[in-house]
Amino acid sequence: MFIDVAKISLRAGDGGNGAVSFHREKYVAAGGPDGGDGGKGGDILFVADSNLSTLADFRYKRKYAAENGANGGPKRCTGKNGADLIIRVPRGTLIKDAETGRLLADISGDTPVVVARGGKGGWGNARFATPTRQIPRFAKPGRLGERLEVILELKLLADVGLVGFPNVGKSTLISMVSQARPEIANYHFTTLTPVLGVVRLEENTSFVMADIPGLIEGASEGVGLGHDFLRHIERCRLLVHIVDVSGIEGRDPIEDFETINRELKAYNPQLAERPMMVAANKCDLATPEQIARFRAYIQERGMECYELSAATNQGTRELVEAIAAKLATLPPILEFEPEPYTAPEVDPQAFEIVKDGEVFEVDAPWLEPVLRTVNMDDYESLQYFQRVLIQSGIIERLEQMGVQEGDTVRILGFEFDYVR
């Protein structure tokens, strides 16, 4: 099954927690803190695999998680780093943020790309020892790894894209000039998936051709089958427009040509500027008048018209040589640049307080990492937490709202009694 769009969840590894430990050894008095740091969480990387041609695997497995970092240990032992998770995708896959649609990466090269980074390991209590704080009984927890949902979108890497109405001979042409063997039959929508074929002219001359399922009027708005595969044309350096010049389907070849061009432009205006060659196919079934009329129309538009009969291999060699000559003058296959991320401007210490009965509920998401570092059994750690509440203005706001000694204050699920 050909799947070219998938949505998956990523969770990079969390950093390991720092350790709280004190040196214990015979004949060594007051050995001091020796808790080690936690290990770094594993990253999630994507790498291109030329042996894959579809995103079907991601239809059945949608959640991917890297390994967490190990916790620190005594004797200043640092925890083991979590193993990175490598996800293999077809070459040409775009990775987009599912929430914003921002392009994160284009997996077209051979270099692995980090999409979700693991959290850093927390510091052990040995890091917090000072001349005035010689026995710290707290350590930092590891930071959380990045979590996000992404959309994988495959856009085939091909030099040439064959476009046109259904049953105009695209599949026949690619089967004649390459080793690709698409299903060929005399009915619409024979080709249900894009087909790639390598066309070789000489020992050092070749290019990749893609047979895109047939387009029809309204394809850019979702009509027919071809609209699902218009994205695969976007990377092509050259478009070859195949037209049934014989009109055996009961359509006018000139109107077919204009209709497809309108659909390409409606889908992506840049496609209208893409270099295009026109192939008048099924000349063996057309009259000289039909061929001459279509050729004159194309030439009036400043384009070359190549006459062929793909079924009998007539004119295919001339077309392939012209394609190779044109490609030699064009830039390489398009690669999309990741979009820069601009974080929204928000107050880093914004909070809201709501009184729910006898409980004062504090909503301050930025306090979550602070709470994770607080050891409720350690006096110095609690003092640090109290300083944060005072400096952020939370205590002042609580007093303005009438909090009394002994009232319950809840912060991110943690409850404590207010004490002046």
Structure confidence by residue, pLDDT tens digits, 38-71? 999 999 999 999 888 889 889 889 999 999 999 9
Residue 341 lies in a domain: no
Local confidence band at 27 (pLDDT 50, 70, 90 cut-offs) = confident
- Rounded distance between C-alpha atoms, residue 272 and residue 222, angstroms: 19
Mean pLDDT to the nearest integer, 285-293: 93
- Rounded distance between C-alpha atoms, residue 46 and residue 87, angstroms: 5
Residue ending a domain, among 154, 173, 202, is 154
- Indicate yes or no: pTM above 0.85: no
Local confidence band at 375 (pLDDT 50, 70, 90 cut-offs) = confident
Residues linked to residue 97 through DSSP beta bridges, in sequence order: 150
Residue 136, pLDDT above cutoff 80: yes
pLDDT in tens, 328-354: 999 988 888 888 877 666 667 788 999
pLDDT at 415: 86
pLDDT at 372: 77
Residue ending a domain, among 125, 154, 183, is 154
Question: Same domain for 299 and 180?
Answer: yes
Local confidence band at 104 (pLDDT 50, 70, 90 cut-offs) = very high
Mean pLDDT to the nearest integer, 5-12: 96
Are 31 and 23 a contacting pair, CB within 8 Å? yes
CATH number at residue 44: 2.70.210.12
- Rounded distance between C-alpha atoms, residue 415 and residue 420, angstroms: 16
Residue 346 lies in a domain: no
Question: Same domain for 82 and 24?
Answer: yes
Q: Domain range spanning residue 283?
A: 161-327
Residue 44 lies in a domain: yes
pLDDT at 345: 66
Question: Same domain for 149 and 195?
Answer: no
Local confidence band at 305 (pLDDT 50, 70, 90 cut-offs) = very high
pLDDT at 10: 97
Tally the domains of the chain: 3
pLDDT at 255: 93
pLDDT in tens, 183-211: 655 555 555 677 888 898 877 788 999 88
- How confident is the prediction for the chain on average, in pLDDT? 87
Residue ending a domain, among 112, 131, 154, is 154
pLDDT at 30: 78
CATH number at residue 384: 3.30.300.350
Question: Same domain for 5 and 77?
Answer: yes
Question: Same domain for 109 and 4?
Answer: yes
pLDDT at 271: 84
